[in-house]
Chains A and B, each alone.
Chain A
């Protein structure tokens, strides 16, 4: 039997203390990857399976780019790996790709680490002939990344931060409302970011009847339609995010039910996180003691 050899990390860069980008050697995923799809990553034998968006791909080199924010045990562990290290499992491409057509003028909104997945979508939409207006937001200047990338694919790029350290001091929904109120004909809106942000984007566009696509980040286990753990309550019944999504019509989602499901494992996530931190602190201590 071909024993598992893992998938090598070829490049790694830190966008900020908590946001990392990695290029992974995974030719089997790169072959068919498209904008809007995701992979499932499991770091080692004891790891959990976590979903991450395909931020970019290179079919010839057989590589996949992921960008992630360290929010808990698994993402922090992933962030601690170095170039040359391997992850155990890397499955994909999963989920439906973004439906890219020439719609006219579209708005692409990326919040926080959501800038990573919105970029390839904005790029594909531009390539298909759309006029792309982009709004990106983060808590502060240090958490922003890919501003130049976004600029290159947008006719207009609006930057918002919570603290005003760069761009407009506001939530992404404010410039969105301004554009919708202007004379401009907007055909479609994409929004990717924290669930609360996507909820308010959907609520903002609803009265204007502008179709709004959001990409959901529910908790997943297998990512292949086998468990139903990722299900999202829609107005017409539940669907599985890993198979039917990850993109959904933002106006059809029962947001409160969804937000509740995202919180369900909070206590356990904290246990895992604290345990990992204390382990890695001990490790740091041991190595510094040795080196010192």
Chain B
């Protein structure tokens, strides 16, 4: 394409993402967003103004070299785009799919002021997928240093840290309590949003090139303790995430049919419950499901429920419903914009300004209804959002047979057994330096959700990367 003037660039509309039709996709777990082809990607890339001081980069928690990779892409040099990307981000095929771009990179893009921002996430996914297919960018490895590092947890934080340390020539061992690596990327985020083969391919590639060892089935705190690791490794990085689910403190939470989003998503995604009985783990779901909360986890639980209901139902006439019950309003919904949009398209019912106060059971101890109260927005609270307050006397019951609780998680305490000297906050998160991730114990670093509480994939990766840098300095 000939060189365009800024005006011409701004006249190009933001390129649409092809998606699976909403009537079809609610019957399967295949990916919803299908990805740009090369022509569309280049057209979208033409929209970028190549700003001298690019605001988009400030919006990205790891500072991806956005103008540089977009420029390489539109000049047709995709391998260069990949290597520009990998300077800051090893896992573009994943981040391109799951980052909340509208509040990060794209939220700061200058084009967003007048029209729509450059679709940075979609371009990132495009080059990530290209790289998975063509493997143009081998991971370089420095000569062995003879130092050994243990990484606990194989989610985005642990993986990123391990890869960077592996590149630097250290011998890295990852300990993972589950039977597969990937953390939330495999047990939480569903197939239709992030295909597992993308995650496995990224992990295998990094491990094969760098010789990183992943020991699955190791629960640190039980199988081995942090103290054992200190005895056998030169440094430790803890990236064990925030996997402990919170339950509501209302009557009825122990009824059959109430579960945490973690239980539901683990059954569905990690254990492939949507393929029961071919796979052994069943998932039980009623005809009327209420998901409590409105973050990414809630959206995923609701959209998985919808698909499962279709798969499980004997006929198409079965009347099924999935509700998202959220105590604030549409404006405050914390989930990624694209997921909320897709959820609405798929027919999820949103009950805003509604808060459950009790779950009611039948004589067999199974859920039959949920008592809720209407809320209104009052003064802003400490999070800056307007605080929801109950409207007196507005209680009402909704008929429901499954309740999925998606109200947040905190760090799993198992890892801290026999590691009391590791200082933690009252929320159970590890105290660590904001930049380096250094903890209160010598030779131990930590990053990702275990330090920040539930956050994002890219911020966990950023933390892993910064710690790797600091650990490397310490070891050399």
Interface set of A (CB-CB < 8 Å, partner B): 1-2, 4, 28-29, 31-32, 42, 46-49, 73-74, 88-94, 221-222, 224-229, 231, 233, 238, 243, 254, 256-257, 260-261, 264-265, 268-269, 271-272, 275
Q: Which residue of B lies closest to A74 (CB)?
A: B280
Among A32, A47, A224, which residue has the most Cβ atoms of chain B within 10 A? A224
- Do A224 and B207 touch (CB < 8 A)? no
Residue B316 is within 8 A (CB to CB) of chain A in the complex: no
Q: Does B217 contact A (CB under 8 A)?
A: yes
Are B260 and A227 in touch, CB under 8 angstroms?
Answer: yes
What residue in chain B is nearest A233 (Cβ atoms)? B254
Q: A-facing mask of B273-289, CB < 8 A → 1, else 0?
A: 00011111110100000
Which chain B residues lie closer than 8 Å to A256 at the CB level? 365
Could you write out 14 A-B pairs with CB less than 8 Å apart? A1-B204, A1-B207, A1-B212, A28-B223, A46-B272, A49-B179, A89-B217, A92-B223, A224-B178, A225-B243, A225-B414, A226-B244, A243-B413, A243-B414
**Chain B residues whose CB sits within 8 angstroms of the CB of A90 once the complex forms:** 217
With a cutoff of 8 Å between Cβ atoms, the chain A residues found around residue B260 in the complex are 227-229
Answer yes or no: B219 CB below 8 A from chain A CBs.
yes
Q: Which residue of A lies closest to B217 (CB)?
A: A91
Q: Are the C-beta atoms of B365 and A260 separated by less than 8 Å? A: yes
A272 touching B284 by the CB < 8 A rule?
no
Evaluate contact between B263 and A227: CB separation under 8 angstroms. yes
CA A261 to CA B216, docked complex, whole Å: 30
Q: How far is the CA of A166 from the CA of B412 in the complex (A)?
A: 47
A-B pairs with CB below 8 Å: how many? Answer: 133
B residues sitting closer than 8 Å to A (CB atoms) are 177-179, 187, 203-204, 207-208, 212-219, 222-224, 243-245, 247, 253-254, 256-257, 259-260, 262-263, 266-267, 271-272, 276-282, 284, 364-366, 412-414
Q: Across the interface, do A227 and B262 meet the contact criterion of CB distance under 8 Å?
A: yes
A261 contacts B263, C-beta separation under 8 Å: no
Instruction: Given A28-B217, A257-B254, answer yes or no on A221-B266 (Cβ-Cβ < 8 Å).
Output: yes
Chain A proximity of B163: nearest CB distance (Å) = 12
Q: Closest chain A residue to B223 by CB distance?
A: A28
Nearest 6 CB-CB pairings of A with B: A1-B207, A268-B282, A227-B263, A260-B365, A48-B280, A89-B179
Residue numbers in A under 8 Å from B244 (CB-CB):
225-226
The answer, among A88, A225, A233, for a CB contact under 8 Å with B413, is: A225
Give the residue of B179, B204, B212, B277 whose beta carbon is less than 8 angstroms from that of A272.
B277
In the docked arrangement, what's the CA distance between A115 and B212, Å?
43
Q: A88 is contacted by which of B179, B284, B365 (Cβ under 8 Å)?
A: B179
Q: Which of A1, A92, A228, A243 contacts B213 (CB 8 A)?
A: A1
> Contact check: which of B204, B266, B365, B413 meets A222 at CB < 8 Å?
B266
- Rounded to whole Å, the gap between the CB of B17 and the closest CB of chain A is 32
**Do A1 and B219 touch across chains, with their CB atoms under 8 A apart?**
no
Task: Indicate if the CB atoms of B412 and A221 lie closer than 8 Å.
Answer: no
Contacts of A221 in B (CB 8 A): 263, 266-267, 271, 281
Cβ–Cβ < 8 Å partners of A233 in chain B: 254
Assembled-state Cα–Cα distance A222/B267 (Å): 9
CB distance from B184 to the nearest CB of A (A): 11
B396 to chain A: closest CB distance in Å?
26
- Measured CA separation A170–B263 after assembly (Å): 40
Q: Which residues of A contact B224 (CB under 8 A)?
A: 28, 31-32
B222 touches A94 (CB 8 A): yes
- Chain A contacts of B279 at CB under 8 A? 46, 48
Contact indicator B263/A264 (Cβ below 8 Å): no
In the complex, are the beta carbons of B280 and A73 less than 8 A apart? Answer: yes
Pick from B177, B212, B263, B282: contact of A224, CB under 8 Å: B177
- Which of B177, B208, B267 gathers most chain A CB within 10 Å? B177
**Chain A CB within 10 Å — which of B213, B254, B259, B272 has the most?**
B254
With beta carbons under 8 angstroms apart, the residue of A32, A229, A254 that contacts B263 is: A229
Q: How far is the CA of A48 from the CA of B224 in the complex (A)?
A: 24
Chain A residue at smallest Cβ distance from B249: A237
Q: How far is the CA of A89 from the CA of B271 in the complex (A)?
A: 13
Among B178, B213, B272, max chain A CB count under 10 A is at: B178
Nearest CB on B from A277, distance (A): 12
Chain B residues with CB below 8 A from A269, complex form: 282
- Whole-angstrom CA separation of A31 from B232 in the bound complex: 15
Which residue of B212, B244, B272 has the most chain A CB atoms within 10 A of its CB atom?
Answer: B244
Closest to A29 in B: B223
In the complex, the answer to whether B364 meets A225 with C-beta atoms within 8 Å is: no
Residues of A with C-beta under 8 A to B280: 46-48, 73-74, 272
> Do B212 and A49 have beta carbons less than 8 Å apart?
no
For the complex, give the distance between the alpha carbons of A250 and B256 in Å. 21
Partner of B281, one of A1, A48, A88, A91: A48
Select from chain B the residue with minimum beta-carbon distance to A242: B414
A198–B105 alpha-carbon span in the complex (Å):
57
| Residues of A close to B282: CB separation below 8 A | 265, 268-269, 271-272
* Chain B neighbourhood of A73, CB < 8 A: 280
Nearest A-chain residue to B275, judged by Cβ: A46
A197, B132: Cα distance in complex, Å:
56
Known contacts A243-B414, A260-B365, A226 near B243 by CB under 8 Å: yes
A225 near B412 with CB under 8 A, answer yes
Known: A32-B222, A46-B278, A49-B179. 9 other contacts (CB 8 A): A4-B216, A46-B272, A49-B281, A91-B217, A225-B413, A225-B414, A227-B266, A233-B254, A264-B284
Which B-chain residue is minimally distant from A222 (CB atoms)? B266
With A48-B281, A91-B177 known as contacts, the answer to whether A224 contacts B414 (CB < 8 A) is: yes
